[in-house]
Amino acid sequence: MKHIYNENKKGAPVFVLLHGTGGTEHDLLPLAGMLNPEYNVLSVRGNVSENGMNRYFKRHGEGQYDVEDLNFRGKELHDFIVESSEDYGFDVRDVIFVGFSNGSNIAINMMLREDTDYRKAILFAPLYPVTIDHDKDLSGAEVFLSMGRNDPMAPEEESKRVIELFESRGADVTTTWVNGHSLPQEAAMKAKEWLEG
C-alpha cells in the first residue's frame, strides 16, 4: 500500500494516519507533528478509488457501506500494519490510530475485529452504520472521538451509536463535539491534551 513512514524516535508510539475521502497519505502529517512530534508515523493511502477519490473501502452511497468490502479492506490494512511493523521495527501494540472521516471508519473496523488488539485511537468525524454480531472486549482500550453536532454526513444519533459501540465493549471513551464534518484546530488541541493526559 502507498504510504509514508517517518521514524522520529526509536521505540516511541506509532501514529497510523488514515485520511478522509479524497485525501492522501500527506494530509494528516501536520496533525501528527502537532499531536506529538516525537511519535513515529505510518501514514497510509486508501487503495480504493471512488470517482477518482482515495478511500479505504467501497460504499453504495452516503452512509451505505459495502460491508463485505469493508471487512476485506480492514483485514488487508491490518495485515499491512503488521507487515510494516516487521519492516520498520515497531510493536503493533504501540499503534495509535489517527483518522478523519473515512479513515476513522476503517480504524473502527480494525479495532472491532476479533483477531486484532489495537488499544488506542483518535478519531475525527466517525460514522459506523454496521451491524456487529460479536461483543469484543475492549476494556483497556482508550478512544478519543471528535464528532459534529451539525454533521451533514453523520447525524447526532449515529455519532452516539459510535460512542456506544466502544463504551458497551468496555473502552475508555473521551468525546468532544464540534460543529460540522470537520477537523478544527480546537478538536486537534483537545486530542493533544487527551494524549498528554
Judge whether 181 counts as a catalytic residue: yes
From 84, 101, 146, 159, active-site residue:
101
How many other CB atoms sit within 10 Å of the CB of residue 186?
10
Question: Helix, strand, or coil here: 192?
Answer: helix
Judge whether 151 counts as a catalytic residue: yes
- 187, 14, 42, 19: CA torsion to nearest 10: -20
Residue type, 50: E
Asked if 16 contacts 90 with a C-beta cutoff of 8 angstroms, the reply is no
From 27, 43, 146, 151, active-site residue:
151
* E strands in 83-180: 95-100, 120-124, 142-148, 172-178
Rounded CA gap, 17 and 19, in Å? 6
Judge whether 101 counts as a catalytic residue: yes
Which residue shows C-alpha cell 455519532?
159
- Residues with a known catalytic role: 101, 151, 181
